[in-house]
Each structure stands twice: as C-alpha cells, then as structure tokens.
Amino acid sequence: MSLRFHWMLPKGGEVAVNGAQTPREAARYRIESMRVDSPAPRPDVKGWTYFARQAEEAGIDSVLISFSRYEPDPFVVACALGQAVKKLKFIIAYRSGLMQPTTFVQQMNTVSALTQGRVSFNIVAGSSSEEQRGYGDFLSHDERYERAEEFLAVCNAFWRANGDVDFDGKHYRVEQGKIATPFVSPDRKSPEIYVSGHSEASEQLAYSQGTCWLRAAEDPVKLAPIVARARQRGIGVCLRLCLLCRATREEAITVAESLLPDDRKESTTTLKDDSQMYREGARCGDGSHWLNRSLWAGLVPHYGPVWTTLLGSPQELAEAFLEYERIGVTEFIISGWPEVDTVNVFGREVLPLIRR
C-alpha cells in the first residue's frame, strides 16, 4: 500500500491569497489564534478554497479539519469545501460526548452524500479540561476514553447494521435505532476512523474501534515497536508533523529557528493540561530539541507536539518519509508555514521522489 499524505487545514485568515507571506508571518496566526481579535473563529471560505485547490493539485489525499472552541464547526466546513474541489477528501475532527452517537452518524452520513463519500473522521477524547467543561463535559481523561469506546461502538453498529441498533452501556443507551440516510462511498460502507493520542487508552481504542492510530512524529527507532504493535492488530499508523523543505538542510534549520516566538514564554498549549501527547511533547528531545538528524522539536513547547518538524532538502525529506514507511507507518498529516507554499513545494519537489 502506498503512503498516504494528508494536510492540516489552515486557520481562518491564515492563507494569504493575494500576496507573498513569510513563514514567520504565517506562524503568528497559530500563536494569536486564541486571541479575541483573531480571524481564526470565523469561516474563511476564500482562503480555504484557495488552499484546498492547491492541496488537491499537489496530490494531497485529505485535509484534517480540527475542532475547538476557537474555530468554526468542522462538519459545515467540510460540506462547504466539498463543493469547491473534486478529489480532495476531508477528515473531520470531533469529540465524543458532544452529541449522541445516533445524531453523529446521521450527520456523517449526510456529509458523505454531499461530498461523494470523501469524508472520514478523527475522534479526539479531549486534551483541555477547561475547554471540555465549557462544552458541558466533566469526565476525567480515562472516563472520556471509556465513553469514546461506547460512542464508536454505537457508530460502528449503525454502519454495520442489517436492522435496528440496540445498545445498553454506561454512557449511551439506544433502543431500536434507525438511520435511513446511508453512508455514501464508492469503496467503503463506513468512514475511516482516526483515533488520536499517545496514551494506552487511545491505543486500545484504536485497536477496538478505529482504522488508524494518529500520533505525533517521533524518531523511527523509537516508533518502530509501537508501529509494529499496531500493524499486527490490523490498523494503520498516521503521524502528525510540520514540514520544512529548502534547498539545503542548513537553510531549512535557519528558517525553522526563525519561527520561534520572540517571547519564548508564548504558547498555544497552555490549556492542554489533560493530554499525554502534549505532556510527552513538553519534555521531548535533548537541550537542542533534535530527535534525530532530520527531526526537530524546537517548536513543540510553543505550538504543540504536532509541530515536531521534519526538515531538510527534498531528497533528505523523501528518504525520511521512506524510513517511516519501512517501519510500517502508513499515513501522514502535514502542516507547514506558509501552508500554500509548503504544500506546493511538497507536491512539486518531495512527493515525486517518494513515489519514484
């Protein structure tokens, strides 16, 4: 199976449609995305459509549409962008506990019909206790994963159903459940399910109910036994990372270091108090934050573990991706600043080397 490459949908206002944008200018949107005057919470159809068409042209499989209180609803965004592109798919991030699983299945099935089956979803148990409480969710970390297990069990029961769905659990109860709107896809009867996290609970949830385990990038040597365990259980492994491609590794390092905020105390991760992925990210690497020759975690304390950066020349990056393939990684969700420039460089200079 060929490696699959997805991309993170930029924040609202992040894409510069009518002019050049430096990596540092683009990075400011991440730091400022939680401020009251940020454009991130408002839909950006023009910027997103422009980016989606560039990503589609570059050979990207899907875009991940994230979920938080600082950005628009991902279901609606997927429906809107699904009308603007023809091949690009959408991974909708959502959290169990915010709606009943029956309603969730109905919405996913409806989106699949509106996008010709180009939809999957990323279930997130929640990483910020403060944000979860704002949505009315007061469960602990492990309890959220327990609920997510039931949530996905109900969802999968609907997608497998030959008749009514009945479920009697601790968190959900369904009697004679029916959803007349089917999941529409040319090659699947249900959406792919990406389970995020680094905890044992997330791993077990991926095994029992998911199709792919989604983690932050790490050194292949460290990841190898983890990936092998997942592949033996029949699921894929997808890595989140930031990409920085330049003509030489030295130039890429210079640009990467320029993305560090002037105030080294600035961070978008302060609310992520209930995530093992973020806790591990806060202490990864040595003092220089190098995980190996190509993987740098210097941005992680400020932007989070998904901004672990794979950097170098096109050839070096292609070799790094193929090293991940050799240990069994199946997919990647990439980000980069500026997003449009980075996705174009990836599609033009890196992806052909990987495919060849």
Confidence of residue 136 (pLDDT cuts 50, 70, 90): confident
Confidence of residue 166 (pLDDT cuts 50, 70, 90): very high
Is residue 209 within 8 Å of 101, Cβ to Cβ?
Answer: no
Give mean pLDDT, residues 121-139: 84
Q: Which residues contact 96 (CB under 8 A, 6 or more apart)?
A: 123, 125, 144, 147, 148, 151, 152
Total domain count, the chain: 1
Confidence of residue 285 (pLDDT cuts 50, 70, 90): very low
Domain boundaries, position 192: 4-355
- Which pLDDT tens digit goes with each residue over 54-102? 999 999 999 999 999 999 999 999 999 999 999 999 999 999 889 999 9
pLDDT of residue 317: 98
- Which pLDDT tens digit goes with each residue over 323-344? 999 999 999 999 999 999 999 9
Q: What is the CATH number of the domain that holds 112?
A: 3.20.20.30
- Which pLDDT tens digit goes with each residue over 176-190? 999 999 999 999 999
Confidence of residue 162 (pLDDT cuts 50, 70, 90): confident
The pLDDT of residue 281 is above 70: no
pLDDT of residue 148: 95
Q: What is the mean pLDDT of the chain?
A: 92
